[in-house]
Amino acid sequence: MIMQQRGITIIEVMVTIAITTVGLLGLSTMQMQSIRSTQDSGNRSQAIWVVNDLINRIHANETASYEFNGEITCDAFPANLKVCGAYNSGESRGESRIVADGDCTIDHMATFDTWEALCGMPSVIDAAVGSSNFIANPGLSITRSLLGDYTITITWDSRTSGVDANGNVTYTVNDNTASQRSNYSVVFHP
């Protein structure tokens, strides 16, 4: 007489649980990577918008120098910044329109353009209303070559890793000792 198995054994149940667990962990890892990539894609899109805005501002004010020493960040509003364009401070009552300074030079306008394109202007609602609300910790550097070409580079905190065209790691995910920054750079002749 042959005994036929009825039901499943504990070993089969454990194997099924292990396979299901590995599959679900893989799915959750893929979801987290997808969220990181979406955030980085949004940062890159906003950086492209900021660079295009700055290129248009430089074309409109070609006689000014937009070259700055080092990287500009949105950490502190510059004390000597002249407001060369009117804006709304976000107040619901009282005087919410901030008028432009009447004595702005072309260089003041260049500084204002650079700050306003990257960081926006101060508001009572937020510290600033502008690209800095959409880019993770933005930074901007503008350099000019001897031929007159500008190089505009926007940097931001990155959450994913990647490799450039030469095979070099451009930024890392889990390296707590290094800055996890990504960038978008454009060279143009005004």
Model confidence over 1-45: pLDDT tens digits? 677 767 778 888 899 999 999 999 999 989 988 887 888 888 888
Q: Residue 149 falls within a domain, yes or no?
A: yes
Q: What is the 3-state secondary structure (H, E, C) of 129-164?
A: ECHHHCCCCCEEEEEECCCCCEEEEEEEECCCCEEC
Highest mean pLDDT among 55-69, 129-143, 166-180 belongs to: 55-69
Q: Residue 21 falls within a domain, yes or no?
A: no
Q: Residue 104 falls within a domain, yes or no?
A: yes
Range of the structural domain that residue 64 is part of: 43-188
Q: Residue 19 falls within a domain, yes or no?
A: no
pLDDT in tens, 62-101: 888 888 778 888 886 676 788 888 777 666 665 677 777 8
Q: Residue 172 falls within a domain, yes or no?
A: yes
Q: Residue 57 falls within a domain, yes or no?
A: yes
Whether pLDDT at 177 is above 50: no
Whether pLDDT at 170 is above 60: no
Whether pLDDT at 187 is above 70: yes
Give me the pLDDT at residue 163, please: 60
Give me the pLDDT at residue 75, please: 80
For residue 148, give every residue at least 6 positions away whose Cβ sits within 8 Å of its Cβ, in sequence order, or none: 189, 190
17: its two tokens: 């649980």
Query: Looking at the 3D structure of the chain, how many domains does it have?
Result: 1
pTM, to two decimals: 0.70
Q: Residue 36 falls within a domain, yes or no?
A: no
Eight-class DSSP state of 103: T
Q: Do residues 112 and 84 touch, judged by C-beta distance below 8 A? A: yes
Give me the pLDDT at residue 190, please: 81
The chain-wide mean pLDDT, for the chain, equals 80
Q: Residue 161 falls within a domain, yes or no?
A: yes
